[in-house]
Amino acid sequence: MSASPVAVPRVSAYLGVSLDGFIAEADGGLGFLAPYQEAGTDYGYNAFMSTVDAVVMGRATFDVLRGFDVPWPFAERPVVVLTHRPLPATPPVPSTVSTHAGLLRPLLESLAASGVAHVYVDGGQVVRQALRDQLVDALTLSVVPELLGQGRPLFGAEVPRSHWQLIGSESWASGLVQLRYGRRAVNQAS
C-alpha cells in the first residue's frame, strides 16, 4: 500500500514573454517588455497577487528585482529564494525573505503545511523546474509582439509534454496579448 502524496499549494506562474518564447534578453534584461506597458494598466497583476500567499523565485530573479529602483514589490508576503549562495546584505533583505537550497516539491509541501494555499513561482529556472515536476496549476503569459531571436527561453527540453486548457485571454492596444491557462488532466489510458 503506497502512501498518498503530500499536499502542495496551488502553484501559478505569471510571466511576460516575447512572441518567440523568451522571458528575458540574452543578458537577462527585460527592456523588450517596456514598450508594451500602458500607463495605468497592470494587466491583472494586482488582482492575481491578491490571491497569492507566498512567492518562490530563483536567485537571478531576486537579484534583478533588487536592482530596480522601486520598493520591494511583495510587501509582507513571504518570499523564498531558491539559491545555494547567501543573499547580499546590502541593501538590507526584507525580513519576509528566506532561502531554500533544496528541491521544489519539499519546499511546497512545507509551505502547504504552514497554511500557504497559493504560491506564485517566478524566474525562468524555477518555472521550468515547476513545469518539469508537473507542479504548475495555472500559467499566465503576457505575450508581446516582438521576436527577440535569442534570449532566455521560457520553455526548454526539461519541460515534459503536458496539456493545458485556455481559461481566458485579453488583448490591449499595445499589441500585448495575455493568455491564461489551467493544467488539464488527461486520461493516460486513452
Question: Stretch 74-96: mean pLDDT, rounded?
Answer: 89
Domains, the chain = 10-26+40-137+145-174 (3.40.430.10)
Contacts of 136 (CB under 8 A, 6+ apart): 11, 12, 13, 121, 127, 130, 183
Q: Report the percentage of the chain scoring pLDDT > 90.
A: 69
Residue 187 confidence (pLDDT)? 54
Residue 57's pLDDT band, with cuts at 50, 70 and 90, is very high
C-alpha cell read off for 30: 527585460
Rounded CA-CA distance 121/62 in Å is 12
CA atoms within 13 A of residue 125's CA, in its CB half-sphere: 12
Residue 106 confidence (pLDDT)? 95
Contacts of 113 (CB under 8 A, 6+ apart): none
Instruction: Please write the tens of the pLDDT for every residue from 142-189.
Output: 999 999 999 999 998 888 899 999 999 999 999 999 999 999 876 544
Instruction: Please write the tens of the pLDDT for every residue from 23-49.
Output: 999 988 889 999 998 888 889 999 999
Amino acid letter, residue 158: E
> What 3-state class would DSSP assign to 176?
coil
Residue 41 confidence (pLDDT)? 87
Q: Report the percentage of the chain scoring pLDDT > 70.
A: 95
Residue recorded with cell 528575458: 24
pTM over 0.85: yes
Phi, psi of 110 (to 5 degrees): -65, -40
